[in-house]
């Protein structure tokens, strides 16, 4: 998979929602979704179904995405990825630059995504949100896995410790 | 419980390192250059006028190429309109000649005149991004040509013969023309060399490496580019003046005239093939160009086609050009414009890179 | 009322200028490539038309689609090979490569067709046929037809970009190449399509030019490229209708200039171009290209 060209990876079923959204600013909301569906696989997700997931989109579908708020853009980005009917959805830093309320709202839509059979790989700095939705988690530090488990098994303190590079809960100096 | 970062106590501290501007190859190449110039100077004494004529052409292209290289290779300005200054230079020799000023002095006027003309033209295109800048210079060249063609007193659209040289014997005229061309080329290359060794050269390298960083460090990017543009205009103008003398007439127009884009094509291709961004590159490129031109002489437009194909191939596959590839492999530099770092203990005689 | 005639003429020719310009604008908007060979492509298309007609003896109008298809294919191939190679090596290389192409095309045409100009011919009656409005205004049918056809092509292109699958992809790739890739688009292929469209439209324009007047090998860089560029700058980048406006303004400026003094025709156009460049570099309608 790592050797594949990005577009081939997408058509193979792994679709990424990149950090920073990366929508097409001069295109309308619906056009953004249509681009996402151009090389889509067969599956349950259609543009209409995305409108059901995010009802506010239907009214605003003719609006250019450049004029939308961060949270709205994030939703459109997810929608664009969904209409491709991926087998696996990569979400990169969903919460970046968004207010906590908005982040919660977006996370609230994730269960429906999971229900449709898509595996979601979430890269997230907002640990609490991530813990709330994840079925399995891994903490990475400089390319190595420092902690692994399910949300039920690990505590927040353990995650924090793993995040900052300490092991077994005790502190060590760097070096 | 913290660790202290141990201070590194290396014995070779920085005073052992020397930084100079020249290297092993510089002194021999400096002597070689002087010898070469003397030899070239002596050409008219033992070489026929046909060859001298070819040499003049080559020297003109050499001057132009050095200027184009300065613009594109060091200042990042791709100008496809240098023929404007080339033509202006020719006219700046013609017009004073029509009023009694000898064309030899006219060459100086050509350089200065072209440089002055460069100022308003720069103002028009300075803010444009690379690609737009290129076409805009082309438009400007066209405008300059159209304006000049309106002025019938200097020949309008058909051209005008150059007065002031009729008193000279052909052999003497050929020799003088040749020496003028040689002087212009040497001054041009020398000028570029000095410019690049100066503070401006440092600024240009900074811009070349990272423009934004340079700007935020207070470097006067716009001013440096303006200076380069003006110098390049002067050089092209002087070269145009030489052409006027060589052809004994000035003909505008785009097909073979002084405002033909063909001149830009020749200088650009010479630079690309020879090696953009080095002073030696244009020299090598001009030689290649002249060889090609002589070889394909009888086939009209072919040499430009071949030149174009070679240039494209080199731009795509050997970006640094012929000389650039040599520099990369052997680390030779005939014109010391960079800085060379001598590691501790390395002497001038070593073969170290 | 020579003035009115001139201005109408200028407006009509502006349509053709816009058609020349839209390919240049497209390639810059999508691939960020300033194609210095753009003008020569129009001339090349004209000469291909000459060849096609000479070989098949088909009427001029029928040869246009043939030439367009040929040029579109050439455009796709050139884009995916040489131009893409240049793009990945930087803007400087791209300029040099397109400049090289320009010189090669021009000189190759000169070598094979001589420097003389050629016309494509439309049938004498059609060229000279004109109609009148009132007693003072005379308009040549050919100019009207070409203007209408140019607008039709621009309209078609505009609709294609707005509604069709690949039109959307082209716009998406122009906005954000990487994001388009993440959505499954092979951006190199999309670039190729855009180039094919650019080559195709400039081919139509080149054929029209050959029908209105004559073409010669150096016409591409003498005028066409510069007129196209001027139209884009005056109208502004990013909008096909801006380009049409730019073309019309250029045409009118030239016509007015010619009325004052026949040899001022091109200069008048460039004067307006320079004026816009200085006062409003982003063009009258669109966004611009300044640093």
Q: Please, what is the angle between helix B261-274 and helix B49-69, to 10°?
A: 80
User: Quick check: is B171 in a domain?
Assistant: yes
Interface contact flag, A38 C169, Cβ < 8 Å:
yes
Predicted confidence (pLDDT) at residue C19 exceeds the cutoff of 90: yes
Interval C87-130: pLDDT, tens: 999 889 999 999 999 999 999 998 888 877 887 766 555 566 77
Which residues on A lie below 8 Å from B6 (Cβ)? none
Please answer yes or no on whether B1 and A173 come within 8 Å at the CB atom: yes
Domains of chain A as residue ranges with CATH: 6-126 (3.40.50.300), 135-175 (no CATH)
Question: pLDDT tens digits for C136-171?
Answer: 778 888 889 899 999 999 999 999 999 999 999 999
Of C100, C111, C230, the CB nearest to B302: C111
Please report the pLDDT score of residue B352 as a whole number.
36
Residues in chain C with CB shorter than 8 Å from the CB of B128 are 281, 289-291
CB contact under 8 A, C103 and B319: no
Q: How many domains does chain B have?
A: 1
Using an 8 Å CB-CB cutoff, list chain A residues near B1: 173
CATH top class, domain C2-279: mainly alpha
Does C185 sit within 8 Å of A39, measured CB to CB? yes
Long-range contacts from B156-159, C-beta under 8 angstroms, 24+ separation = B157/B252, B157/B253, B158/B251, B159/B249, B159/B250, B159/B251, B159/B252, B159/B253, B159/B257
pLDDT band at C193 (very low <50, low <70, confident <90, very high): very high
Please report whether residue B352 resides in a domain.
no
SS (H, E, C) chain C: CHHHHHHHHHHHHHHHHHHHHHHHHHHHHHHCCCCCCHHHHHHHHHHHHHHHHHHHCCCHHHHHHHHHHHHHHHHHHHHHHHHHHHHCCCHHHHHHHHHHHHHHHHHHHHHHHCCCCEECCCCHHHHHCEEEECCCEEEEHHHHHHHHHHHHHHHHHHHHHHHCHHHHHHHHHHHCHHHHHHCCCCHHHHHHHHHHHHHHHHHHHHHHHHHHCEECCCHHHHHHHHHHHHHHHHHCECCHHHHHHHHHHHHHHHHHHHHHCHHHHHHHHHHHHHHHHHHCCCCCCCECCEC
For residue B302, give how far its alpha carbon lies from the nearest alpha carbon of chain C (Å): 7
Binary contact (A175, B1; C-beta < 8 A): no
Nearest to C229 among B125, B135, B312 (CB): B135
Summarised one tens digit per residue, pLDDT across range C255-265 is: 999 999 998 99
Both tokens of C155, joined, read 């309209």
pLDDT at res. B309? 94
B130–chain A Cβ distance below 8 A for any pair: no
pLDDT at A170: 41
* Long-range residue pairs from B325-331, CB within 8 A, at least 24 positions apart, any chain: B325/B275, B326/B275, B327/B275, B327/B278
Interchain pair C91, B130: CB under 8 A: yes
Residue B252 belongs to a domain with what CATH number? 1.10.3470
In a domain, B351, yes or no: no
Q: Looking at the domain assignment, is residue B3 inside a domain?
A: no
Q: Give the one of B130, B268, B304 whose C-beta lies nearest to C107's C-beta.
A: B304
Residues of chain B contacting A173 with CB distance shorter than 8 Å: 1-3
Instruction: Give the domain extent around B72.
Output: 29-337
CB nearest to C104's CB, from B255, B308, B315: B308
Q: pLDDT in tens for each of the 353 residues of chain B?
A: 444 444 444 444 555 556 666 655 667 777 777 888 887 777 777 777 778 888 899 999 999 999 999 999 888 899 999 999 999 999 999 999 988 888 899 999 999 999 999 999 999 998 888 889 999 999 999 999 999 998 888 888 788 888 888 888 888 888 889 999 999 999 999 999 999 888 888 888 888 777 777 777 776 788 889 999 999 999 999 999 999 999 998 999 877 788 999 899 999 999 999 999 888 899 999 999 988 888 887 666 788 899 899 999 999 998 888 888 877 777 666 676 666 666 665 554 433 33
pLDDT tens-place string over residues C35-65: 999 999 999 999 999 999 888 888 888 899 9
CB atoms A35 and C187 under 8 Å: no
The answer to whether C80 contacts chain B (CB < 8 Å) is no
Q: Where are the domains of chain C?
A: 2-279
Interface pTM, i.e. ipTM: 0.90
Chain B residue with CA closest to A173: the answer is: B2
Note the pTM of the prediction, 2 decimals: 0.88
| Close Cβ partners of B109 (under 8 Å, ≥ 6 residues apart) | B92, B93, B96, B101, B241
């Amino acid at each position: 998979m790592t050797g594949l060209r990005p577009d081939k990876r997408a058509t193979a079923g792994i679709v990424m929602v990149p950090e920073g959204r990366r929508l097409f600013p001069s295109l309308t909301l619906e056009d953004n979704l249509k681009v996402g569906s151009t090389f889509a696989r067969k599956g349950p997700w259609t543009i209409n179904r995305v409108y059901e997931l995010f009802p506010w989109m239907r009214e605003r579908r003719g609006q250019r995405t450049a004029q939308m708020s961060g949270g709205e853009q994030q939703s459109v980005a997810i929608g664009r990825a969904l209409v491709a009917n991926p087998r696996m959805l990569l979400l990169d830093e969903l919460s970046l630059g968004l207010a906590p309320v908005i982040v919660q709202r977006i996370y609230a839509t994730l269960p429906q995504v999971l229900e449709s059979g898509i595996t979601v790989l979430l890269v997230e700095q907002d640990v609490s949100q991530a813990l709330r939705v994840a079925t399995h988690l891994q903490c990475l530090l400089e390319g190595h896995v420092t902690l692994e488990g399910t949300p039920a098994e690990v505590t927040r303190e353990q995650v924090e410790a793993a995040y900052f590079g300490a092991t077994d809960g005790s502190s060590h100096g760097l070096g | 419980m913290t660790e202290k970062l141990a201070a590194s106590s290396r014995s070779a501290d920085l005073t052992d390192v020397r930084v100079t501007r020249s290297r092993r190859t510089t002194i021999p190449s400096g002597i070689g250059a002087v010898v070469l110039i003397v030899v070239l100077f002596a050409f008219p004494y033992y070489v026929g006028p046909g060859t001298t004529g070819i040499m003049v052409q080559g020297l003109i292209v050499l001057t132009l190429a050095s200027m184009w290289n300065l613009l594109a290779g060091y200042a990042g300005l791709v100008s496809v309109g240098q023929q404007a200054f080339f033509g202006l230079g020719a006219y700046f020799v013609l017009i004073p000649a029509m009023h009694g000023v000898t064309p030899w002095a006219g060459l100086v006027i050509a350089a200065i005149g072209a440089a002055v003309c460069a100022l308003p033209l720069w103002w028009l295109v300075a803010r444009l991004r690379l690609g737009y800048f290129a076409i805009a210079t082309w438009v400007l060249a066209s405008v300059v040509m159209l304006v000049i063609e309106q002025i019938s007193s200097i020949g309008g659209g058909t051209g005008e013969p150059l007065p002031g040289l009729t008193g000279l014997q052909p052999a003497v005229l050929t020799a003088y023309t040749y020496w003028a061309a040689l002087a212009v080329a040497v001054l041009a290359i020398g000028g570029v060399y000095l410019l690049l060794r100066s503070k401006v050269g440092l600024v240009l390298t900074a811009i070349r490496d990272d423009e934004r960083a340079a700007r935020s460090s207070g470097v006067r990017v716009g001013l440096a580019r303006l200076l380069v543009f003006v110098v390049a205009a002067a050089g092209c103008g002087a070269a145009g003046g030489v052409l006027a003398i060589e052809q004994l007439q000035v003909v505008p127009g785009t097909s073979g005239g002084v405002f033909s884009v063909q001149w830009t094509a020749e200088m650009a291709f010479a630079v690309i093939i020879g090696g953009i961004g080095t002073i030696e590159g244009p020299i090598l490129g001009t030689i290649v160009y002249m060889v090609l031109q002589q070889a394909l002489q009888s086939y009209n437009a072919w040499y430009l086609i071949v030149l174009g194909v070679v240039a494209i191939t080199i731009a795509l596959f050997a970006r640094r050009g012929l000389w650039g590839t040599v520099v990369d492999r052997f680390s030779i530099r005939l014109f010391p414009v960079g800085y060379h770092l001598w590691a501790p203990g390395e002497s001038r005689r070593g073969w170290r890179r | 009322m020579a003035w009115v005639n001139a201005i109408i003429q200028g407006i009509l020719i502006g349509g053709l200028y816009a058609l020349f310009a839209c390919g240049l604008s497209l390639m810059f908007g999508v691939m960020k490539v300033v194609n210095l060979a753009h003008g020569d492509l129009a001339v090349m298309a004209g000469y291909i038309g000459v060849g096609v007609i000479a070989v098949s003896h088909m009427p001029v109008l029928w040869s246009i689609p043939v030439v367009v298809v040929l040029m579109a294919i050439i455009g796709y191939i050139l884009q995916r090979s040489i131009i893409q190679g240049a793009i990945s090596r930087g803007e400087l290389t791209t300029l040099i490569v397109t400049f090289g192409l320009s010189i090669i095309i021009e000189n190759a045409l000169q070598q094979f067709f001589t420097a003389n100009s050629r016309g494509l011919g439309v049938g004498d009656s059609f060229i000279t046929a004109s109609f009148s409005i009132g007693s003072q205004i005379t308009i040549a049918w050919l100019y009207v037809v070409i203007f209408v056809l140019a607008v039709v092509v621009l309209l078609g292109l505009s609709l294609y970009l707005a509604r069709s699958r690949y039109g959307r992809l082209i716009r998406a790739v122009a906005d954000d190449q990487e994001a388009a890739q993440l959505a499954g688009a092979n951006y190199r292929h999309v670039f190729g399509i855009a180039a094919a469209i650019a080559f195709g439209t400039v081919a139509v324009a080149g054929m029209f030019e050959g029908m209105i007047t004559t073409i010669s090998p150096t016409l591409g860089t003498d005028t066409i490229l510069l007129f196209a560029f001027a139209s884009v700058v005056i109208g502004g980048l990013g909008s096909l209708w801006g380009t049409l406006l730019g073309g019309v303004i250029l045409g009118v400026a030239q016509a007015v200039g010619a009325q004052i003094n026949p040899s001022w025709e091109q200069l008048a156009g460039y004067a307006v171009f320079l004026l816009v460049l200085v006062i409003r570099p982003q063009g009258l309608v669109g966004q611009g290209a300044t640093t």
